[in-house]
Amino acid sequence: MVPRIIFGRGSFNQLNEILTPKRLNINAPFIYLVDDVFKNNSWLTSRIQLSYNDKIIFISSKEEPKTSQVDALVEEIILENKERPSGVIGIGGGTLLDLAKAVSIMLTNEGEAKDYQGWDLVKNAAIYHVGIPTISGTGAEVSRTTVLTGPHKKLGINSDFTPFDQVILDSELTDNVPKDQWFYTGMDCYIHCVESLDGTYLNAFSESYGDMALELCKEIFLGDDLTKVEAQEKLMMASWHGGMSIVYSQVGVAHAMSYGLSYLLGTKHGIGNCIVFNHLEEFYPEGVKLFKEMKLKHDIELPEGICANLTDEEFNAMIDISFSLEPLWENALGKNWKKIITREKLRALYQKM
Q: Which residue is nearest to ligand NAD (CB)?
A: 94
Distance (Å, rounded) from C-alpha 233 to C-alpha 227?
10
- Rank residues 11 and 273 by Cβ distance to Zn ion and give the closer one: 273
Which of 54, 98, 170, 198 touches ligand NAD by CB under 6 A? 98
Q: Which is nearer to ligand NAD, 29 or 139 (CB)?
A: 139
Cβ distance to ligand NAD smaller for residue 195 or 198: 195
* Least separation in angstroms between CB 216 and ligand NAD: 17
DSSP for 137-198? Answer: SS-TTT-S--EEE-SS-EEEEESTT-S-SEEEE-GGGGTT--HHHHHHHHHHHHHHHHHHHT
Task: Find, among 193, 201, 243, the residue nearest to 217 by Cα.
Answer: 193
Query: Taking CB within 5 to 8 Å according to partner kind, which of Zn ion, ligand NAD, none is near residue 51?
Result: none
Could you give the string, one character per residue 178-207, with x where binding to ligand NAD holds by CB under 6 A and - elsewhere? ---x---x--x-------------------
C-alpha–C-alpha distance, residues 155 and 113, integer Å: 11
| Cβ nearer to ligand NAD, comparing 39 with 343 | 39
Enumerate residues 160-219 that contact Zn ion by CB under 5 A: 188
Using rule CB under 6 A, residue 86 touches ligand NAD? no
Taking CB under 6 A as the criterion, the residue among 59, 103, 126, 140 binding ligand NAD is 140
Among 87, 90, 93, 150, which residue sits at the site for ligand NAD (rule: CB under 6 A)? 93
Residue number with the smallest Cβ distance to Zn ion: 188
Which string of x and - marks every residue 249-288 that binds ligand NAD (by CB under 6 A)?
Answer: -------------------xxx------------------
d(CA 293, CA 339): 32
What are 155's strand-pairing partners? 148
- Which is nearest to 28 in space by CA: 52, 56, 2, 3? 52
Other Cβ atoms within 10 Å of 252 Cβ, number: 32
Cα–Cα dist 99/34, whole Å: 10
Q: Least distance (Å) from ligand NAD to the CB of residue 91?
A: 9
Q: How far is the CB of 75 from ligand NAD (least distance, A)?
A: 21
330 binds Zn ion (CB under 5 A): no
DSSP 4: E
220 SS3 class = helix
- Amino acid at the residue 190: Y
**DSSP class of 92:** E
Size of the site for ligand NAD (CB under 6 A): 31
Work out whether strand 147-149 and strand 154-158 pair parallel, antiparallel, or are unpaired. Answer: antiparallel
Shortest Cβ 116–ligand NAD spacing (Å)? 14
C-alpha dihedral (240, 204, 195, 129), degrees to nearest 10: 30
**How many alpha carbons lie under 13 Å from residue 166 in its C-beta half-sphere?**
21
Q: Which residues is 30 bridged to in the sheet?
A: 87
Give the nearer residue to ligand NAD in terms of CB position, either 29 or 92.
Answer: 92
Q: Select the residue interacting with ligand NAD from 29, 87, 90, 92 (CB under 6 A).
A: 92
Which of 28/216 has CB closer to ligand NAD? 216
Helix (H) or strand (E) holding 34: strand 30-35
Where on the chain is the footprint of Zn ion (CB under 5 A)? Answer: 188
Where on the chain is the footprint of ligand NAD (CB under 6 A)? Answer: 35, 37, 61, 64-65, 92-96, 98, 134-135, 137-140, 143, 145-147, 173-174, 176-177, 181, 185, 188, 268-270
